[in-house]
Chain A
Amino acid sequence: MNVDLIVEALREVFPAETIEVRPVPLDEVFVALPPSCIHPAVRLLVERFNLRHLSAITGQDLGDGIELLYHFWDGRGLTLRTTLPLEATSIVTLTDLIPGAAFFEREVSEMLRVSFNGHPDLRVLLMPDDWDGQPVMRQGGGE
């Protein structure tokens, strides 16, 4: 996979000032995008570059927002990064493009109260059905 080509294509499609590219140790590139660009960007990765392997989705509470990291891999790592404001923690699901994202999104949803619009089944994945709280958030882990 040529990460440089992908980054170039992302810059062509989205305004360059909205994109921030940063190399990370162990051969990984992080590309930051606004939340509304994530779904179109992943569509571009899947349709133009046939990059379909999503390794994981990391969600983390930064205090002033919830950051989502979409980690792709195809010989080299490429991570798309976006931050959701605390007052509107929702984003469009990727399950229509990558069905394998279903469990990753369910986990982020229950751990950080992020809503994935269009997800076919957002039940809890790991926590008990009656658990009240988001364990990976700084505050509000529950019992």
Chain B
Amino acid sequence: MPKMTIPIGPQHPVLKEPLGFLLTVEGERILDSVLRIGYVHRGIERLCQERSYVQNLYLMERVCGICSHVHTTTYCQGVEALLGLEVPPRGLNLRILLCELERIHSHLLWLGVLAENIGLTAVFMYAWRDREIALDIMEELSGGRVAHSANVIGGVRIDMDAEQVHSVLVRLDQLEQLMDAFLGVIRHERSFRARTRNVGHLSAEQVLRYCVVGPVARASGVDVDLRRDAPYAVYDRLHLEVITHDNGDVWARTLVRALETVESLHLCRQLLTGLPDGPTAVRAPRRVPPGEVVSRAEAPRGELFYYIRSDGSEKPARIKIRTPTLTTLITLRDQLRGIHTADVPTVLAGVDLCIACADR
């Protein structure tokens, strides 16, 4: 059978974000693929060198349209370390509460995208309906559904009263009950398993070789989670169970993310019931003393990395951002090799790519 080269993207039916592929196929089988990213490169690392530390908060929030809050969390954590600021416990609790709510919304959004791509439109509808619970809570707390502007250098600018805490706890219980239905579909639904089992397989060795992080690594049996392994903010005071699975396929990634969503609900409950009293932020000076810092956090897709260098002025001398998707993208060549073209959407959706994050 003759070999053919098919371009897919940058605009394509799988993801809403642009990503280019050149697939070499023989019949229905994929022999090789060449990836091209950068279609939403905005030069954020360069732009932030020309803005003050406070202005950069709003720029960092726009690296990603899904996990915006964890970007500002990692950035603030780094700048606060350079300033030697101690964030009040209540501020840290609320900051991490939003991080976990964001993980819930990100995982449910992704579950919907995957379900739609494999033809389970009902699951897509229900996942996005239930995701609204997390979005509503975040909107009530911060005023924004996706861009919250909740973090400030020195803490958070949001707060909640006892009535709000109670109302959020009730809705978290509702969402946990709704998650049972998704777990049932993932574990037992025949068509779901048929489309996702043994598709897009990555071994633990491949994960380590390509420095892959987050749920994709954990679904291949690599037990790593910064929230437990290098606890930042308040994670050392929370009980967290890290979810792993040995299958390494799209099905395992789905199960890991669904169970992580439930785990995040438990974390939110711990954060709300143990919410300390006191202020939510301290004042931060505009100038940052010279120095450098490496700040890491566990974003919904895995380890998020910021390097910040200050030369003592009001603007950073260099900020480097490494998002989890960048290393996951390298694995796509291995994952696509040898599979049928019909499984391409499952593989692409299955790793939970955030192209805007990777391109910056």
Residue positions of A touching B, CB distance < 8 A? 24-28, 30, 52-56, 58, 60, 69, 71, 73, 75-77, 79, 98-104, 111, 124-128, 135-136, 141
Which residues on B sit within 8 Å (CB–CB) of A104?
322, 326
In the complex with contacts A56-B305, A56-B320, A100-B210 CB distance below 8 A: yes
In the complex with contacts A27-B230, A71-B307, A75-B230, A55-B211 CB distance below 8 A: yes
Which residues on A sit within 8 Å (CB–CB) of B346?
none
| Minimum Cβ distance to chain B for residue A123 (Å) | 9
Interface of B is mostly: mixed
Interface of A is mostly: mixed
Contact between A58 and B230, CB atoms less than 8 A apart? no
**Which one of B43, B294, B317 has the highest number of Cβ atoms from chain A below 10 Å of its Cβ?**
B294
In the complex with contacts A69-B307, A125-B37, A125-B38, A75-B229 CB distance below 8 A: yes
**Which one, B75-83, B109-117, B186-194, is touching chain A?**
B75-83
| Minimum Cβ distance to chain A for residue B71 (Å) | 15
Which residues on B sit within 8 Å (CB–CB) of A55?
211, 296, 303, 305, 322
| Minimum Cβ distance to chain B for residue A30 (Å) | 8
Which residues on B sit within 8 Å (CB–CB) of A27?
230
Contact between A127 and B309, CB atoms less than 8 A apart? no
Contact between B230 and A76, CB atoms less than 8 A apart? yes
Which residues on A sit within 8 Å (CB–CB) of B98?
none
Contact between B327 and A26, CB atoms less than 8 A apart? no
Name the residue on A nearest B317 (C-beta): A60
Contact between A126 and B41, CB atoms less than 8 A apart? yes
> Does B329 belong to the interface (CB within 8 Å)?
yes
In the complex with contacts A25-B82, A55-B305, A136-B46, A102-B330 CB distance below 8 A: yes
Which residues on A sit within 8 Å (CB–CB) of B229?
75
Which residues on A sit within 8 Å (CB–CB) of B329?
103
Which residues on A sit within 8 Å (CB–CB) of B317?
60
Name the residue on B nearest A61 (C-beta): B318
